[in-house]
Amino acid sequence: MLENNDPKPAAALIHTAKIYPYTPGGYGTSIGELLTGKVRPGPPAPQPEQRFFEGSSQPFMTIPPNDFNYFEKINAPVQQEPTDALDPEITGSLAAIGIVKGKPFNPDERMKKILTEAAVVGTATSRTLSWRPRESEGYAYYPGSAWVNMLFVGGYDFETPPPLVTKEGIKPFPPTGYRTLNARSGFFFYATGITPAMCMRLPGIGSQHLGAMVDSKGEYLDGSKTYKVTLPPNIPARAFWSIILYDNQTRSMLQTPQRFPRAGSQSYPGPAAMANPDGSTTIYFAPAKPAGVNDGNWIQTDPAKGWNTLLRLYSPLEPFFDKTWRPGEIELVS
């Protein structure tokens, strides 16, 4: 939510959020649950003193482990959550490797070795599905382009592509009857959340994301080199647009002295990108700002790391969906 291109008013509202402890029978208990007789109606718990912790500038790890500890992390919620919290298909797969609610997860050395290798292979497979998919996977949003979006392959549920929105009306695709598992694996290795609004073909609604893992030649993006991308005039975003860089290893925002690895139409938290005389906008990616480039048109890279990027369009417009507007490819400068 922006007010005059400024996110600060909306961010300030977060400070007013309050979370109260749940007491069965008090606030948060449904009428239906009360009528079961399993809980007694009662007053809510006393409200504790509210404390707010500023965490926006604090680093913290959100990446799951890529070794045997991965399975220990999975075991923890299985033991903590109710039995019916997970789909039986999932719990069946977990049970096959010894993760069962109410039972200790204590594999022998042979099984530990197998699971450790499985974590490594799974990571490599998922990374390949994200960074170097086969052309037949259909991730490319434009023919021959490095800009990809795997959600359009099977929709947000990875079963059926999102409906086409045409002047003649909505044209849904028939159900495929299967999940596009490669697209799902690649997506959730790269990202942690999903919503239908991320791949609805409705102008002015939600947001759209295009990712680029390689340059125009198909080479991985190198933090020690200089690249540029040009966005044609009339970028189709009614609210705002942005380009953000991510660390290939952590899949988190790239950490550099620049602090915010982004460029875009917003003037916060850094200067907005400036357009070229012809209305197009060129963004540079380099460890040091190229000569003559405005601060808002440069995103700093780390010479020791590879990177990837997401182009985000908020409240995307029709030229994005009919593909009459197409971003340039990321070009190596030097």
- pLDDT tens-digit series, residues 114-134: 999 999 999 999 999 999 999
pLDDT at residue 40 tops 90 = no
Encoded amino acid at 314, one letter: Y
Q: How confident is the model at residue 97 (pLDDT cuts 50, 70, 90)?
A: very high
Q: Is the dihedral of CA 276, 278, 281, 285 positive or negative?
A: negative
The structure tokens 């540079």 sit at 284
Closest CA to 43 of 16, 21, 62: 21
20 alpha-carbon distance from chain centroid: 29
pLDDT value for 116: 97
pLDDT at residue 53 tops 80 = no
When mean pLDDT is compared across 18-27, 30-39, 264-273, the lowest value belongs to: 18-27
**Could you give the CA distance from residue 309 to residue 248 in angstroms, rounded to a whole number?**
9
Q: What is the mean pLDDT of the chain?
A: 90
Q: Is the peptide bond before 327 cis (omega within 30 degrees of 0)?
A: no
pLDDT at residue 141 tops 80 = yes
Mean pLDDT of all residues in 77-83: 91
pLDDT at residue 2 tops 70 = no
Pair of tokens at residue 325: 């507007």
Identify any residues that bridge with 166 across adjacent strands, giving them in sequence order: 169
The total number of residues shown for the chain amounts to 334
Mean pLDDT of all residues in 317-321: 94
The strand ranges marked E within the chain are: 147-148, 164-166, 169-171, 207-212, 227-231, 237-247, 262-264, 281-286, 298-300, 307-316, 331-332
Q: How confident is the model at residue 39 (pLDDT cuts 50, 70, 90)?
A: confident
pLDDT value for 259: 85
Q: Which domains does the chain have, with CATH numbers?
A: 17-53 (no CATH), 139-332 (2.60.120.600)
**Could you give the CA distance from residue 265 to residue 281 in angstroms, rounded to a whole number?**
10
